[in-house]
Amino acid sequence: MTGTNDATHGRQHGDQNHTPEEASRLVARAKGGDQRAFGELVRRYRPRIFALCLHLTGNESDADDTTQEVFLRAYDKLDQFAGRSEFFTWVYRMAVNRSLNARRDRARRARRQVLGDPRIDKAVAVDAAGDPIKAAELRQTYERLLEALDKLPAAMRATVVLVALQGLSHAEAAVVQKCSPGTIAWRMHAARDKLRESLEGPKRIEAPRAHKGLSHELLGLLRLWGLPAVSSA
């Protein structure tokens, strides 16, 4: 499995036109041994799962490996899926847990450097549209945003990624993280406060000069932290 363009997919891509009923039918067929049905589930949900893993691990190789492991595990455990939640919620929960484990394992080996971060490279490639001046501006913005994001506690960081970047509702994120919607709301509120503290000071972050063409993810981060999509410059 490869993840070349998957990180640019948000909730508006991938499974937006697929209903839970359709997914349930595919799961039922997959449980009956239809490998093509499970392959269709992978095709539908892989872009979002990879994007989630990339944001939580901060490493493309780890994200790709984790995504593959998640779907292999989902296939092996498919008979244990009771259908009390949606299939994507079940897979999301596995992806969050495995991504956080992968990040902890990587942190033990070496401290991740912001430079060369694949999340930044992919976002700039999408948003800059070949404009080197815009690329430099966006890279600086993304580095500050992701540096602040990565300083959040693991559970809070996962909540921000699920809600702000993946587009899940508080109720959906609560199911994935096995907590109440109120806890999700509190984490998002606390995350905004922590991120504002990180982004203020001598190196105060500036929003990009123009919002046209910015990716869903950058706009989501700017809005989360109360930054304008268009500055007065």
- Report which of residues 44 and 15 the model is more confident about: 44
- Report which of residues 151 and 208 the model is more confident about: 151
Distance, in Å, from the CA atom of 49 to the CA atom of 9, rounded to the nearest integer, reads 10
**Banded model confidence at residue 116, pLDDT cuts 50, 70, 90:** low
Q: What pLDDT score does 145 carry?
A: 80
Q: What pLDDT score does 60 carry?
A: 87
Average pLDDT of every residue of the chain: 76
Distance, in Å, from the CA atom of 71 to the CA atom of 50, rounded to the nearest integer, reads 11
Is-contact 166 51, C-beta < 8 A?
Answer: yes
- Burial string for 105-117 (b: 16+ CB within 10 Å, else e) reads ebeeeeeeeeeeb
Round the CA-based radius of gyration of the chain to a whole number and report it. Answer: 18
Q: What pLDDT score does 140 carry?
A: 78
The tens digit of pLDDT for each residue in 190-203 reads 888 888 777 665 45
Q: What pLDDT score does 82 carry?
A: 82
Q: What pLDDT score does 212 carry?
A: 47
**Banded model confidence at residue 127, pLDDT cuts 50, 70, 90:** confident
Task: Tell me if the pTM is above 0.85.
Answer: no
The tens digit of pLDDT for each residue in 176-187 reads 999 999 999 999
Spacing of C-alpha 72 from chain mean position: 20
End-to-end CA distance of the chain: 43
**Banded model confidence at residue 112, pLDDT cuts 50, 70, 90:** very low
Distance, in Å, from the CA atom of 195 to the CA atom of 192, rounded to the nearest integer, reads 5
**Banded model confidence at residue 151, pLDDT cuts 50, 70, 90:** confident
Q: Which domains does the chain have, with CATH numbers?
A: 10-109 (1.10.1740.10), 118-224 (1.10.10.10)
Is-contact 159 184, C-beta < 8 A?
Answer: yes
Q: What pLDDT score does 210 carry?
A: 46
Helices marked H in 77-117: 87-109
Q: What pLDDT score does 45 carry?
A: 93
pLDDT at 26 over 70: yes
Distance, in Å, from the CA atom of 167 to the CA atom of 155, rounded to the nearest integer, reads 17
Q: What pLDDT score does 92 carry?
A: 92
Give me the long-range contacts of 186-194 (CB less than 8 A, separation at least 24): 187/155, 187/156, 187/159, 187/160, 188/159, 188/160, 188/163, 188/164, 188/224, 190/156, 191/152, 191/156, 191/157, 191/159, 191/160, 191/224, 192/224, 192/225, 192/226, 194/148, 194/151, 194/152, 194/156
As a whole number, mean pLDDT of residues 104-128 equals 66
Scan for tokens 């039922």, then name that residue. Answer: 28
- With CA atoms as reference, report the closest residue to 143 among 64, 48, 58: 58
